[in-house]
Structure 1
Amino acid sequence: MPIPPFVEDLRRHVGHALLWLPGVTAVVRRGAGPDTEVLLVRRADDGTWTPVTGIVDPGEEPAVAAAREALEEADVTIRVDRLARVGVTDEVAYPNGDRSVYLDLTFACTWLAGEARVADDESTDVRWCAPGDLDDVDPPLAAHMRARIDAALADEVAARFATG
């Protein structure tokens, strides 16, 4: 995965020390009712399927970051509808020794245009998946990614968040 330039700059000062970074997840839906599909990307770094994810740039609005990431990773234009979930990831240790924890803001989004495709080097495949088929994805979705998708697909107004 490419490292954003601002993170490279931070790493020059802090080395591999633990960084707290804001991240976004864009759960992109297409269709309605029984025809609803969710956009998944297959990550190039570990081969897992996830919704579109990314790091918020300094000064960037998180919803803008979600739309930017969807365009950069899958070449689709989306509407960000609502904040669906707020959570904190476990510590992530990268092969080079860098360590990060992410504040994840998951957004429920609607596909507007574009034929989903691999649009950068962060993924190796993209696909639309019916919600009922999410348990059949191989390799299986990680539980924390499934929780993000479930929150975005829920018919709720308020965001979900951990309280303890």
Structure 2
Amino acid sequence: MPTPEFVLDLRRRIGHDPLPLVGVTAVVFRGEKVLVGRRADNGKLQCVSGIVDPGEQPADAAVRECLEEAAVVVRAERLALVRTVPRVTYPNGDQVDYLDLVFRCAWVSGEPHPADGELTEVGFRGLEQLGDVDAAHMRVIALAIAADDPAAFDGGR
């Protein structure tokens, strides 16, 4: 799905100035494999992510993003990590400061494929097949592996 309408409305008011947004990342497991996709905008391989809509519960946003981007139904199991992402400056000059809530999710149904154009490829990979995932996203995956670990908080806590 393209940029949410509420973000476009805000951009008309504030221009390219930094905008704080809540994002979600879904680390989806199917057995011993994790769902990853290659982003159409920057070519990076990572877990499904997106922006929480106004009034939407973050876990519901993670589930929604998986269906929209990868055509898979998932169940959010636990919060794995709360982190801030370094400021993102998009090619058009828009700046965003994301608070990212990372959820461990379980695959329920559906075979992954690029569903809305945000991903150019998507599928389940074994942990040994994640060599082109950057260190920050490997940490996200590592913190979500255990089904019952408490959530981690960036910032030394």
TM above 0.5? yes
Amino acid at match of 1:4: P
- Structure 2, unaligned runs of 5 or more: none
What's 1:10 paired with?
A: 10
TM superposition shift of 1:64? 0.2
Q: CA RMSD in A?
A: 1.2
- Misfit runs of 4+, over 2 Å: 154-157
The equivalent of 1:162 in structure 2 is 154
Deviation at 1:155, TM superposition (A): 4.7
- Aligned sequence identity (%): 51
Counterpart contact for 2:104–2:147, Cα < 8 Å: no
* 2:126 counterpart letter in structure 1: A
TM-score (norm 2): 0.95
Unaligned runs of 5+ in 1: none
- Aligned partners of 1:162 and 1:49: how far apart in 2? 22
Count, aligned residues: 156
SS in structure 2 of the partner of residue 118 of structure 1: coil
Following the alignment from structure 1 to structure 2, what is the Cα–Cα distance between the partners of residues 134 and 76? 20
Equivalent position SS for 1:117: coil
Partner of 1:58: 54
Task: State the one-letter code of the partner of 1:91.
Answer: R
Matches of residues 23-34 of structure 1 in structure 2 within 5 Å? 23-31=23-31
TM-score scaled by length of structure 1: 0.91
Q: Which stretch of the first structure deviates more once superposed, 147-156 or 108-117?
A: 147-156
